[in-house]
Amino acid sequence: MSAPVGPGPVSAARPVTGVITDLLRRTRWREPLVIAHRGASGHRPEHTLAAYQLAIDMGADVIEPDLVSTRDGVLVARHENEVSGTTDVAERAEFAGRFTTKTIDGRELSGWFTEDFTLAELRSLRARERLPWLRPRNTRYDGRYRIPTFAEVLGLARRESVRRRRRIGVYPETKHPTYFAGIGLPLEPPLLRELGQVGWDRRSAPVFVQSFEVSNLRWLSTRTRVRLVQLVGSAGAPYDVVAAGGDTRYADMVTPRGLAALSGYAFGVGPDKSLLIPRAAGDVLGEATAVVDDAHAAGLVVHPHTFRDEAVFLPADRSGARWAGDGDPLRELLRFLDLGVDGLFGDYPDTVCAARALWFAARRRRAA
């Protein structure tokens, strides 16, 4: 926990946590937020300290670690608990016997899973690019970085906040919380413990905690004051709802009634971007829905996901030739900024920062 805040230099009586608290009370984010999705994952292997550092260098306001657990209950940053696609584990003979098949959120998966490794064992692995066929330039960094812990991600954000004298936040996502709770490794208690140890367990902390499930966010809402964000997929339903026999779909959650219900436990909503502007015939951007306005009316911030530069992810009227390398994502981003969103998740934080700068410049011209 942070020491009492008061004037004066860092000392034994006033540790660095107090300095960080002072700094973050004096500074504010420049909204809409630029949220670095898994770090600068378009430029470096995702969920590495190098990807998070580069995102901060590029101007991101917030870095996003997905969290899973090790066998000894330590939270680490990986997109999935199955790590054959993001590490060199398949090439490590000493771990060949750990290959197994499991059912995760109703889907059968084969590979190597973080919960079968101690932290020390996972730290011996090296990260690699998850999408080498799409981002071949990132493969030059394969083998350079290890899997970071959540504590290390928090430490990076806090150090860079002080060094740059600007507010840098973290946006952890709890991955497969029902599954991890079911195997005796719930994610939420260690998450709260890590945040508490650095004094980032209050409403004013530069933290958002997100999940595609509902019950864990409701549980957290009774035990922490940090801001919670309900993620909403483009289709389907939260796994915990499905597992409990419920019938609530993601589509129900972005209706006015559904958003009002979310506001009872969440600070914001993180919808798939297609729920805000769906694709029309010809894979072009269609007409905007009312989700942003309805969410704001319910008192929720809106942080859509995920924006990427590659042409395959862009609408046809923005990307030029399909599968032809990088497209032109700026117009897509500007269209979403015009909706009034409060932040955007992006694999290329430099591109999102550029779009935000263009959007602010256009607003200034219109106001002149």
Phi and psi at residue 254, in whole multiples of 5°? -110, 15
Active site residues: 37, 79
Q: Is residue 224 part of a domain?
A: yes
Q: Is residue 308 part of a domain?
A: yes
Q: Which domain holds residue 201?
A: 16-79+133-367
Q: Is residue 111 part of a domain?
A: no
Q: Is residue 246 part of a domain?
A: yes
**pLDDT (tens place) for every residue of the chain, 368 residues total:** 232 222 233 333 334 445 445 544 445 667 899 999 999 999 999 999 999 999 999 999 999 999 999 999 999 999 999 999 999 999 999 999 999 999 999 999 999 999 999 999 999 999 999 999 999 999 999 999 999 999 999 999 999 999 999 999 999 999 999 999 999 999 999 999 999 999 999 999 999 999 999 999 999 999 999 999 999 999 999 999 999 999 999 999 999 999 999 999 999 999 999 999 999 988 889 999 999 999 999 999 999 999 999 988 998 864 444 444 445 799 999 999 999 999 999 999 999 999 999 999 998 888 87
| pTM of structure | 0.90
Q: Is residue 122 part of a domain?
A: no
Number of H helices, E strands in the chain: 14, 15
Domains held by the chain: number: 1
Residue bearing tokens 């996972």: 122
Nearest CA to 224 out of 202, 206, 197, 194 is that of: 202
Query: Tell me, what CATH number does 156's domain have?
Result: 3.20.20.190
Q: Is residue 347 part of a domain?
A: yes
Q: Is residue 164 part of a domain?
A: yes
Q: Is residue 51 part of a domain?
A: yes
